[in-house]
Amino acid sequence: MSRTGRRTAKLVLAAVLLFTLTPLVFGLLGDVDDDGQITTADAQMVLETVVGIRTLSPTEEAAADVDGNGAVDVADAQWIAQFASGAVTAFPERLPQHSGPIAASRKGDRVAVVDPDGGTVVFLATAGDTVEAMVDVGREPTSVAFSRDGRTAFVTVARDRSVAVVDVAAGAVVGAIDVGVEPFGIVIDFRGSRAYVSNAASGTVSVIDVASRAVVGTVPVASQPQGLATTADSSKVYVTHLKPGETELTMQEIEESSTRIPPRMLQNNQVFEF
């Protein structure tokens, strides 16, 4: 382990600790109206927001804050206008915008840290504080889970609408599994046979057979599913949801052989059973 590598490991862990979770940026930075181009129309939207005659959605705000200072202001409009005219070809370097989701292998010998801004997953050996690999996985990775034997890592990649399959020893992506829109969270049950992926924008949970790496079911759930957890007997999966101004816990009851979960309501929570 070189000193540089050790320092990198510490920096990665520090980033995990320091940065709080913020809404993910799925659009092109500067493209406020999401038409695929950065034009004066985008700058105009920012100016209208600054003078109070327009209100941006959270997604539009994320695209508008091109200098990454946390506010939509005149400076952003100037940057976008300069970009549109060709006077500049890049926006200012931004600080990391997202926290780093982390997962540990079952044996505890390794952790995987997601860098959503860099599009990478870093694998660290817990003995010796060493970086083993930094793997490019795609656009906006959001979460990671290890297979039961720790040899494979499954990474949700939001903008690619897929789960990247990483061979940990090789430090390389060896496959991709198509899931829903904006996959956010992933959990593998304790038996190691099923992976569950929350598709935030689809309002579904994809059920993946770990051995075959095939999606064997897609479960409709309440809107904006995010966090996932499974019970020790692998019989239930719990899903949290992001809703403006509130947090709702959705509980899913899942049988190992089942692939679809019709929901029923119970008090304020949604319970899904077979």
What residues make contact with Ca ion under the rule CB under 5 A? 31, 33, 35, 37, 42, 65, 67, 69, 71, 76
Q: Which tokens belong to 3?
A: 């000193």
What is the smallest separation between the CB atom of 139 and Ca ion, expressed in angstroms? 19
Residues 24, 235: Cα–Cα separation, whole Å:
31
Q: Which of 26, 69, 72, 71 shows the shortest CA–CA distance to 46?
A: 72
Nearer to Ca ion, 57 or 247 (CB): 57
What is the smallest separation between the CB atom of 73 and Ca ion, expressed in angstroms? 5
What is the smallest separation between the CB atom of 242 and Ca ion, expressed in angstroms? 23
Residues 8, 53: Cα–Cα separation, whole Å:
45
- With contact defined as beta carbons under 8 Å apart, do 180 and 221 qualify? no
Dmax (CA) for the chain in angstroms is 59
- With contact defined as beta carbons under 8 Å apart, do 226 and 101 qualify? no
What is the smallest separation between the CB atom of 116 and Ca ion, expressed in angstroms? 19
Q: What is the dihedral of CA 26, 28, 34, 37, to 10 degrees?
A: -160
Q: Count of CB atoms within 10 A of residue 257's CB? A: 7
What is the smallest separation between the CB atom of 25 and Ca ion, expressed in angstroms? 13
What is the smallest separation between the CB atom of 79 and Ca ion, expressed in angstroms? 8
Q: Which tokens belong to 17?
A: 């600790």
Please state the separation of Cα 36 from the chain's center in Å: 22
What is the smallest separation between the CB atom of 38 and Ca ion, expressed in angstroms? 6
